[in-house]
Structure 1
Amino acid sequence: MFKWNAGDYSRSSSEQEKWATELIAKLKLRGDERILDIGCGDGKVTAAIARLLTEGSVLGIDSSPEMIFFACQTRGCDTNKNLSFLKIDARELDFQPEFDVVFSNAALHWTTEHLKVLQGIKKCLRPFGKVLLQMGGRGNTEAMLTVVSTIMGKSKWSEYFTNFSFKYGFYGPEEYLAWLEMAGLNAIRVELIPKDMVHGGEEGLAAWFRTTWLPYIQAVPQHLQEEFIYEAVKTYIGKYPLDTQGRAHVQMMRLEVEAQNIQ
């Protein structure tokens, strides 16, 4: 397992937060819902949901102990009655049917076991409860994946990736429609949405890479990790130059899933 730097992620995830804000708006909350936020990370998105719940509450879960500790320390989960956090793996949901909404942003592509996640979501939803998920989908960040794959094969780095194995769960509508049906959830909308992720030049791109490409970075000895990061970033910018405003662009593909529990 890789280790997250929650503080660094919190400082370098403005694009993920922006997309989360767009996704939250699609929930059209009344304010009295009980919500589960899967893959809550540093907790800032969960806290944003909590501020919309005048009479409801939200529970943020994440498999990373570093993220959950950071969320509790910075979001005041012990003092805010409608906001709490727990360390739970998304593949091991074991709640009663207590949630009106299950939400997830930029998290579920970290697992390939999506049917298991959806089966757990089904168990924890109340009748007619809603599901709204967004994650990396098929074709997500293909250009950066190609760059990283090329670097991994270079003589300087290849020894560290001899037994390396990691796969993102980047899927498309076909897989998800089948999994929703198997899990007993009614699909409302499942679509791939292209997104342009924008970073502030080389340093902004490096910050994003440093905080989200952990399986690859942490395969390299610690004293070489910054060198690996900047080789990837400089190679990417060499292929995809900064725009006229000095910004780096990474083409992303998000899978957005809207479903409902009908019993």
Structure 2
Amino acid sequence: MSHTWDPDRYLSYADERGRPFVDLLARVPAENPATVVDLGCGPGNLTALLAARWPQAKVAGVDSSPEMVAAAEGIDGIEWEVGDLREWARPDPLALRAPVDVLVSNATLQWVPDHLDLLPGLVDRVAPGGWFAFQVPGNFDEPSHTTRSELAAREPYAAHTRGVSVPASHDPAVYSRVLLDLGCEVDAWETTYLHVLTGSDPVFDWVSGTGARPTLQALPDDLRPLFEEEFRALLREAYPEDADGRVILPFRRIFVVARKPDGERVG
């Protein structure tokens, strides 16, 4: 079931969402890459950091959302493209596509079912000696996700939310094993951020811009307000505010930086 993205809503927590990208980028030691690609670039605010890090490189941002790419096109010096990450992972037996020195994917792979199967193809797009770095959320067993899934499975919502897109990821060891078997050097780790949020129902505001968005969009206009009301109440119970009105949102994220070996292409 398809859904659309709202760049403005996504950017409402731009600093918090951007920190994992910065932490990922800090562990990519590429010095003078000629080509850098951001798969799942979103509104482009983080892709701009790639251009700042490697000003001599040709930098491109790719996203499947036309809304996100339209928002990114106001950032100069970067090539923007509407495209599907899965197309990037398709076999290229004739080596017709130019290799990429640094391939980055931030908080995107979790939206692609069976994305482990895509890793060989993505590594194949990287030049020998180049880098493939990605970050995915690892918090899908937290109330921010489980309460949404449980509520959406109840009637009258279930009739509309069956088949809705649901993000998922794997532990760092799983990604490491796949990439090690491809001959890559791998640096993988996880971090749990503790985001301090304020405002009215801030956890709902956070998830409604990302993980809960497909579910909310799948509901008809007459049911969505009721679902949101119940969902907000469940989130307030799971993430209570303190006496000063602050809410702490723990957010586990998984990071992988892989260096492709010099030599033959993978795949």
Q: Same fold by TM (over 0.5)?
A: yes
Conserved in 2, the CA contact under 8 Å of 1:197 and 1:251?
A: yes
Q: Indicate the residue corresponding to 2:188 in structure 1.
A: 190
TM-score by length of 1: 0.85
Cα offsets for 1:224-253 (capped at 9, x unmatched): 434433431221112320134422223222
Instruction: Give the secondary structure class of the aligned counterpart of 1:3.
Output: coil
User: Structure 1 residues 71 and 222 mapped into 2: Cα distance closer, same or farther (>3 Å)?
Assistant: farther
Alignment of 1:11-50 (within 5 A): 11-30=12-31, 32-50=33-51
Alpha-carbon separation, structure 2, partners of 1:40 and 1:117: 18
Specify the alignment match of 1:246 in structure 2: 245
Task: Give the C-alpha shift of residue 206 in structure 1.
Answer: 2.8
Shift, 1:35, TM fit:
1.0
Q: Distance in 2 between matches of 1:231 and 1:49?
A: 40
Q: SS state of the match for residue 242, structure 1?
A: coil
Matched letter for residue 218 of structure 2: A
Q: Which of 188, 203, 206 is equivalent to 1:205?
A: 203
State whether structure 2 residue 122 is matched by structure 1 residue 124: no
Deviation, structure 1 residue 160:
2.6
RMSD: 2.4
Asked if structure 1 preserves the Cα contact closer than 8 Å seen for 2:160 and 2:218, the reply is: yes
In structure 1, distance between residues paired with 2:141 and 2:62: 25
Q: How many residue pairs were aligned?
A: 254
- The answer for the alignment partner of 1:135 in structure 2 is 136
Q: Which amino acid aligns with 1:198?
A: V
Whether the aligned pair in 2 keeps the contact of 1:141 and 1:253 (CA below 8 Å) is no
Task: Give secondary structure in 1 for the equivalent of 2:159.
Answer: helix
Equivalent in 61, 82, 85 of residue 90 of structure 1: 85
User: Shift in Å at residue 215 of structure 1?
Assistant: 1.7
CA–CA separation in structure 1 for the residues paired with 2:248 and 2:71: 29
Superposed CA offset, 1:30-79 (max 9, x none): 3554211111001100012112222112111111121112211x213xxx
Q: Which residue of 1 aligns with 2:93?
A: none
Equivalent position of 1:222 in the other structure: 221
Aligned-partner SS, 1:67: helix
- Helix, strand or coil at the partner of 2:209: helix
Deviations 1:157-200, CA, capped at 9 Å, x for gaps? 34333x33444231113431332245x24142223332223322
Name the amino acid aligned to 2:237: G
Cα gap change, 1:91 to 1:198, in 2 (>3 Å): farther
2: CA distance, partners of 1:17 / 1:226:
30
Give the unaligned 5+ runs of structure 2: 91-95
Offset from partner CA, 1:54-105 (integer Å, 9 cap, x none): 2112111111121112211x213xxx2xx11111211111673432111122
Distance 1:225 1:54, change over 3 A: same
Q: Distance in 1 between matches of 2:55 and 2:164?
A: 45
Bigger helix share? 1
Whole-angstrom distance in 2 between the partners of 1:180 and 1:29: 18
Amino acid across the alignment from 1:152: A
**Distance verdict in 2 for CA 1:251–1:159, change over 3 Å:** same
Q: Is the 8 A contact 2:190 2:255 kept in 1?
A: yes
Contact residue 108 and residue 136 of structure 2 kept, 8 A: yes
CA contact (8 A) 2:40 2:62 kept: yes
Aligned partners of 1:34 and 1:58 also within 8 Å: yes
Note if 1:145 corresponds to 2:145: yes
Shift of 1:108: 1.2
